[in-house]
Structures are given as C-alpha cells and as structure tokens.
C-alpha cells in the first residue's frame, strides 16, 4: 500500500536514534539490534501509511506517540503530506526531559 506521506527526521530525533544505536551496540547482541531495527522500520511504515493510527499526546495535541518498545517511544506530527519524527524518547527517563 502506497502512501502520499513523506518521512522527515528532526535533528533531535536523529541524535536520539544515534544514542539508541550506540547503546544497543554496547549492550545488546547483533540479533537483538536487527530485531529492533526491523521493528522500527515496520512502525515507521505504519506511521507513514496512516499517521492518525496512534494517539495524540496530552502535552501537544498535534503530536502523536507510538510506543515502539518499553525503552523507546516515537513522537511525531503530521503537517500537510509530511510526517515529522520529533524525538525517540526512553520512557524510563524523567518525563520532564521530554521536549515536544
């Protein structure tokens, strides 16, 4: 199924992803890293196909969140035909650190 939406990563989201990758390389096996990458790819595909699939946040109504794992939540927003990944957040952190 094709979508008319384009995916855009913010600088913050790219930095978050790099931090996650660095952590995974240090602490997880190659198989676990591949599983995480596959799960992330599938979730991003779902988001691009149907951006309204996941719930809106209480903090900012135009931002939606998708729980990827118990260690990673994707926050994104849609403007026009662009889905922007705002951040990848570890929910084990202090919620005050979440900048939307």
Is residue 98 one of the residues assigned to a domain? no
Cα(7)–Cα(83) distance, integer angstroms? 5
Q: What is the CATH number of the domain that holds 15?
A: 3.30.2310.20
Classify the C-alpha dihedral 60-63-67-72 as positive or negative: negative
Residue 48 belongs to what domain range? 6-93
Domain assignment present for residue 14? The answer is yes
Q: Give domain status of residue 54, yes or no.
A: yes
Q: What is the pLDDT of residue 92?
A: 78
Q: Has residue 74 been placed in a domain? A: yes
In a domain, 99, yes or no: no
**pLDDT for 12-63, tens place per residue?**
999 999 988 898 899 989 998 899 999 999 999 999 999 999 999 988 889 9
* pLDDT bracket for residue 1 (50, 70, 90): low
């Amino acid at each position: 199924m094709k979508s008319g939406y384009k995916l855009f990563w913010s600088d913050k989201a790219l930095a978050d992803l790099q931090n996650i990758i660095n952590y995974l390389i240090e602490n997880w096996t190659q198989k676990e890293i591949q599983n995480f990458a596959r799960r992330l790819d599938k979730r991003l595909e779902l988001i691009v196909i149907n951006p309204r699939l996941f719930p809106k946040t209480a903090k900012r109504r135009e931002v939606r969140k998708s729980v990827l794992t118990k260690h990673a939540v994707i926050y994104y927003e849609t403007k026009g035909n662009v889905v922007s990944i705002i951040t990848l957040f570890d929910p084990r952190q202090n919620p005050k650190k979440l900048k939307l």
